[in-house]
Amino acid sequence: MTDLSPAAAKRNVLTLAICMALSNSAVTLQVTLGGLVGHILAEDKALATLPVTFVVAGTALSTIPASMLMRRIGRKLGFIAGACIAIVGSLLSALGVYEGSFWLFCLGAFIFGASSAYVQLYRFAAADIAPVQMKSRAISWVMIGGLVAAFAGPEIAKHTRDLFTPYLFLGCYLAAAALPVAVLAVLSFVTIPAPNAAEISEKGRPLATIVRQPVFFVAAMAGMFGYGVMNLLMTATPLAMQLCSHPFSAAATVIQWHVFGMFFPSFFTGNLIARFGVLRIIIVGAVLNLVCIAIALHDVTILHFQLALLLLGVGWNFMYIGGTTLLTEAYRPAERNKTQALNDFLVFGTVALASLSSGKVLYDWGWHFVPMGAVPFILMAAFGAVWLLLQRRQAVAAA
């Protein structure tokens, strides 16, 4: 991949951030409404969160094909393909709402989820084009684009919910189809060097060798459990608030502040990583998740939901950006696509399982069992980061 000048790299990272903002607005809308629309359309209400699960499953199953496609055709053409898939998925979801078909709605969610696999690669594209000393900041800058989604997605949902009465939420999914159209327009301004012949032909080390590295193991755990726990609680929250008789507007606001917590820290997460080290930031993210769980278990008022989900978002930010930054230490240039693909497959496979179990746990055992189930996974990620930090300290002391 041909290097860009620092100025060109910054310009492209900012453009990718705009694409991330538009794309994540559609993702936030889908996640905010998936469980609620599923509750309306599904005969078995325990399946209400299944559409969100289909979104995540589509992402998980498409991570490897998306990375392999981009290895062949380059990032830019790959992002264009992802936006086109998002349009198709959103329109199918809209048709499912119009027809009152739960399974058609789920199909649209699955296809839309496939497009999200491409969206997740914006952060790696930023890391690839940035100088080594700027990688954590470049990832953070792209993730800042998601801050727009914190407000845009739920606001779009609020204002388009009743647009085509009596087809509740139909307007939301038509709006979700319009957002990737805007992404296609913005992508025309992006310049991402295409992979050169050596990068395409060179295979690098076997994946088994890469995976056996402690750095890969800890990075993957930070992403898997940070994102999985976030999705587990976020997916269940709108339904839990509905069961607690809180209004839809309150649930939308809680999700707004949650997504705000997910992306606002990106203004400084990269600088924190550069100053304190990536492993310490992952550990702080895990601690914030544990505080979130304690608040969620304390009470079910709107304030408790809002504060818990806000901290959940910040904890996710630290663990996810930290895990992504740490992962860049695990591979060589020729290995980036397959390593990134495996990492995202593990991350979104975990997220799919979390989403699938979310509604079942909520309806069968109650809200309190949802955050309680997250504790062991957060502890595993935290202990992994602490272990690697101690190993590195010992290595430095022995040198």
> Within a domain: residue 36?
yes
As for how many domains the chain has, the answer is 1
Tens digit of each residue's pLDDT, the chain (399 residues): 445 667 777 888 888 889 988 998 898 888 778 878 988 998 887 777 788 888 888 988 898 899 889 888 888 999 999 999 999 999 999 999 999 999 999 999 999 999 999 998 888 888 777 777 777 788 888 888 777 777 788 788 888 988 888 888 999 999 999 999 999 999 988 877 666 665 566 778 888 999 999 999 999 999 999 999 998 998 888 888 888 888 877 887 888 788 789 888 888 898 899 899 999 999 999 999 999 999 999 998 999 999 999 999 999 999 999 999 999 899 887 888 889 889 989 998 898 888 778 877 888 888 899 999 999 999 999 999 999 999 999 988 886
> Within a domain: residue 143?
yes
Rounded CA-CA distance 309/317 in Å is 12
Please tell me the pTM assigned to this model.
0.77
Torsion angle, alpha carbons of 225, 228, 230, 232, to 10: -130
So what's the pLDDT on residue 343? 93
Alpha helix positions (H), the chain: 6-41, 50-73, 75-99, 102-119, 122-129, 135-160, 170-187, 197-201, 207-211, 214-243, 248-263, 266-276, 278-298, 302-327, 336-365, 369-398
> Within a domain: residue 42?
yes
Residue 191's nearest CA partner among 396, 11, 25, 384 is 11
> Within a domain: residue 1?
no
Written as one string, the DSSP assignment of 321-386 is HHHHHHHTTS--GGGHHHHHHHHHHHHHHHHHHHHHHHHHHHHHH-TTHHHHHHHHHHHHHHHHHH
Neighbours of 359 (CB within 10 A): 25
> Within a domain: residue 284?
yes
With H, G, I as helix, E, B as strand and everything else as coil, classify residue 74. Answer: coil
CATH number at residue 241: 1.20.1250.20
So what's the pLDDT on residue 2? 46
At 246, give phi and psi (nearest 5°).
-85, 145
Q: Name the residue range of residue 363's domain.
A: 6-398
> Within a domain: residue 324?
yes
